[in-house]
Amino acid sequence: MEEKSFYVKDSIIILFGTALYAFGLVNINIANDLAEGGVTGITLILLALFNIDPAYSTLLINIPLILIGGKILGKHAFYYTIIGTLSLSAFLWIFQRFPVSINLDHDLLIASLLAGLAGGAGSGLIYRVGGTTGGSDVIARILEKNFGVSMGRSLLLFDVFVLTLSLTYLDVKRIMYTLIVSFVFSKIVDSVLDGAYSAKGMLVISNCSEDIGEVIMAMLERGVTYLSGTGGYSQIDKKILYVVVSPSEIIEIKRIVHELDPKAFISVTNVHEAIGEGFTYAKPEKKLFRKMPKKEEVGTKTISSEN
């Protein structure tokens, strides 16, 4: 029953993602004569040269690819890819019959940014639940399994090939704007896949790691973890503090560390996704104002919170 609810939830997300992707493709890309990479780019070439509706060419190209790559995709991905391909064709058909006029004052830069935003957000949602819209993704997986070609390389080569073919109906100027679309598209996809809640990971190497950890747990109510480490030069064992926080809390933690140990080493890294209490689950309720404990008060009480 729980697995079925996941299928329903994921399917709804895929439908929303393909609707957003199709909306951008029809009302921004096609409306402003911008190309596209991958199989979608081929459907636009067929539209420009032979007036073949992308809603139909998407099915004609993708269905054979999906059937060939069915075993490679796996059960869930195969199911989601079928949904993605069918819904994409359906939404392309709908939006072409009921287009929405977006007045961009013939500004190709704005059109490129919006096309990348819509396409990246839609595709990101689809990829986030493990689905695809078929096409070049399937081709890349087949090449990776049978010929050892990495997916990144094959996708790039395929996009370059399709964009080169697009010169048959577009000038170099619009192809260059299409590269902007591709760049924005990839960045938005990464942002969607990385998680809705941005976070930072902080490593603190100090002789006062436990004191610093107690203050962080008391003031910010963030769990901390102590890792075992040994100094490469001193060969002295130390406890390394690790904590995941929101970007707005970095300054506060730096202040805490500096007050307790001015010589502490701090490393801040990007966390692509943070799941757990304080991020995706209910966060402990905080008081409006908190005072930092005095140095002599640190260590007098035990705090059990951990990552």
Q: How far apart are CA 198 and CA 127, in angstroms?
A: 19
Phi/psi for 242 (5° steps) reads -125, 130
Q: Which residues contact 21 (CB under 8 A, 6 or more apart)?
A: 88, 91, 118, 119, 122, 123, 126, 133
Buried b (16+ CB within 10 A) or exposed e, 171-180: eeebeebbeb
Q: How far apart are CA 211 and CA 199, in angstroms?
A: 23
93 touches 55 (CB < 8 A):
yes
* pLDDT tens-digit map of 228-272: 999 888 888 989 999 998 887 899 899 999 999 999 999 999 887
Q: How far apart are CA 152 and CA 279, in angstroms?
A: 31
**Residue 151, pLDDT score:** 63
Q: Provide mean pLDDT across the span 33-57.
A: 94
DSSP code of 281?
B
How far from 59 is each of 82, 97, 115, 177, 278, CA to CA, in Å?
Answer: 10, 18, 22, 27, 44
How far from 218 is each of 61, 111, 203, 264, CA to CA, in Å?
Answer: 58, 49, 18, 20
Express as a percent the part of the chain with pLDDT over 70.
84
Look at residues 264, 125, 120 and name the one whose alpha carbon lies nearest to residue 203. Answer: 264
**Residue 205, pLDDT score:** 94
Q: In the chain, what are the domain boundaries?
A: 2-194, 197-307
Regarding predicted confidence, which is higher, 19 or 271? 19
Q: Which range, 68-77, 162-171, 270-279, is most confident?
A: 162-171
Q: Strand order in 237-245's β-sheet?
A: 224-230, 237-245, 199-205, 265-271
**Residue 221, pLDDT score:** 82
Whether residue 286 is predicted with pLDDT greater than 70 in this model: the reply is: no
Whether residue 74 is predicted with pLDDT greater than 50 in this model: the reply is: yes
**Residue 293, pLDDT score:** 62
Residue 288's pLDDT band (boundaries 50, 70, 90)?
Answer: very low
Average pLDDT value for the chain: 84
State the residue for tokens 């990348």. Answer: 116
* pLDDT tens-digit map of 119-141: 999 998 988 887 888 788 778 77
59 touches 19 (CB < 8 A):
no
**197-307 carries CATH number 3.30.70.120:** yes
**Residue 196, pLDDT score:** 54
Residue 189's pLDDT band (boundaries 50, 70, 90)?
Answer: confident
Residues across the chain? 307
Most distant CA pair in the chain, distance: 80
Look at residues 5, 99, 88, 19 and name the one whose alpha carbon lies nearest to residue 54. Answer: 88
Regarding predicted confidence, which is higher, 100 or 248? 100
**Residue 246, pLDDT score:** 80
Whether residue 159 is predicted with pLDDT greater than 80 in this model: the reply is: yes
Regarding predicted confidence, which is higher, 145 or 160? 160
- Please give the sequence-ordered ranges of beta strands (E in DSSP) within 148-210, or none if there are none: 199-205
51: left (phi over 0), alpha (psi -120 to 50) or beta: left
Residue 1's pLDDT band (boundaries 50, 70, 90)?
Answer: low
- Per the DSSP assignment, residues forming a β-bridge with 199 are 271
Whether residue 112 is predicted with pLDDT greater than 80 in this model: the reply is: yes
Regarding predicted confidence, which is higher, 83 or 276? 83
Regarding predicted confidence, which is higher, 237 or 196? 237
**Residue 170, pLDDT score:** 94
Regarding predicted confidence, which is higher, 7 or 304? 7
19 touches 139 (CB < 8 A):
no
**Residue 102, pLDDT score:** 92
